[in-house]
Amino acid sequence: MPVGEPSRPYVICPVCGHAFRATSASTYVTVGREADLCPKIPGRPSDGARLIRSAVTMCPVCSFAAGEAFDDLDLTLDERHGIEERLKEDGLLKVFRKGQPPWLGFHAAEVCGKERSLKSRELGDLCLRASWVCRKEKERPFESTFQLRAMRHFMRSLEEDDLIGRELSVTTYLVGELNRRLGNHREALNWYVNAGRTTEGDPRAAWLDRLIDKQSKLAREQAA
Ligand SMILES: [Zn+2]
């Protein structure tokens, strides 16, 4: 092993049983965040994309992917079968499995997450991270695809997940910000107002209030 390379333990895919060395999720230094909370990471954008990607592990054989450590997953037989079927049938995986584009792990984790009944908030988070990777890798059309999917999951999450506190405020804000990025400026303004209502009187949300103000101004200019 070359000096300085972190040791990479073997992980075993809980779906197909393949053993492989996974890149462990690394912590990284950020220098602030963009308005959609994408971390700004010093260095080349592609290095930043690689660090964000390390949040998911994907099996190189069957494409099972998850944000959790594989050891921690305890899948039922039904879940394993369901996941296998979904991975086989998925259109994007069929086309892109060989090419391994940088967003593929998040997409696969979303596909598997649906079968594992992850909450909409978590599915949205996977898609949001995929959109960050696409932006850093300059994959524009896919960035929009994942922003739209993240937005839909977050909207469902606001209806179904009983979010409270910071999670409620941030999720509502993100629906606004993703709308703005997708060009729906008036929609965005409505969601920023909703987000502002959820933070009222909470001093810990001052950073979010400032962000809401700033992005509302931007959306108003863009809507004009
Ligand atoms: Zn596998």
- Give the DSSP per-residue string, 90-131: -HHHHHHTTT--TTHHHHHHHHHHHHTT--HHHHHHHHHHHH
Q: How far is the CA of 13 from the centre of ligand 1 (A)?
A: 5
Whole-angstrom distance, CA of residue 181 vs CA of residue 145 = 11
Question: How crowded is the C-beta side of 132, counted as CA atoms within 13 Å?
Answer: 26
Q: How far is the CA of 20 from the centre of ligand 1 (A)?
A: 9
Q: How far is the CA of 39 from the centre of ligand 1 (A)?
A: 30
Whole-angstrom distance, CA of residue 48 vs CA of residue 39 = 8
In order, the DSSP letters of 136-178 are: HTT-HHHHHHHHHHHHHHHHHHHHHS---HHHHHHHHHHHHHH
Q: How far is the CA of 187 from the centre of ligand 1 (A)?
A: 41
Q: How far is the CA of 122 from the centre of ligand 1 (A)?
A: 21
Q: How far is the CA of 196 from the centre of ligand 1 (A)?
A: 43
Q: How far is the CA of 10 from the centre of ligand 1 (A)?
A: 13
Q: How far is the CA of 172 from the centre of ligand 1 (A)?
A: 35
Q: How far is the CA of 213 from the centre of ligand 1 (A)?
A: 45
pLDDT at 27: 75
Q: Provide the token pair at 58.
A: 């994907």
Q: Mutual orientation of helices 206-223 and 165-181 as an angle, nearest 10°? A: 20
Angle at 28 between CA 11 and CA 210, to 5 degrees: 130
pLDDT at 175: 98
Q: How far is the CA of 106 from the centre of ligand 1 (A)?
A: 15
> Is the Cβ–Cβ distance between 112 and 145 less than 8 Å?
no
Sequential pLDDT tens for the chain (224 residues): 444 455 667 899 999 999 999 876 667 788 899 999 999 999 999 999 999 999 999 999 999 999 999 999 999 999 999 999 999 999 999 999 999 999 999 999 999 999 999 999 999 999 999 999 999 999 999 999 999 999 999 999 999 999 999 999 999 999 999 999 999 999 999 999 999 999 987 889 999 999 999 999 999 999 98
Kindly report the backbone phi and psi dihedral angles of residue 37, in degrees, each rounded to the nearest multiple of 5, phi listed first: 70, 10
pLDDT at 8: 65
Q: Provide the token pair at 28.
A: 């990284």
Whole-angstrom distance, CA of residue 176 vs CA of residue 186 = 9
pLDDT at 98: 92
Q: How far is the CA of 58 from the centre of ligand 1 (A)?
A: 8
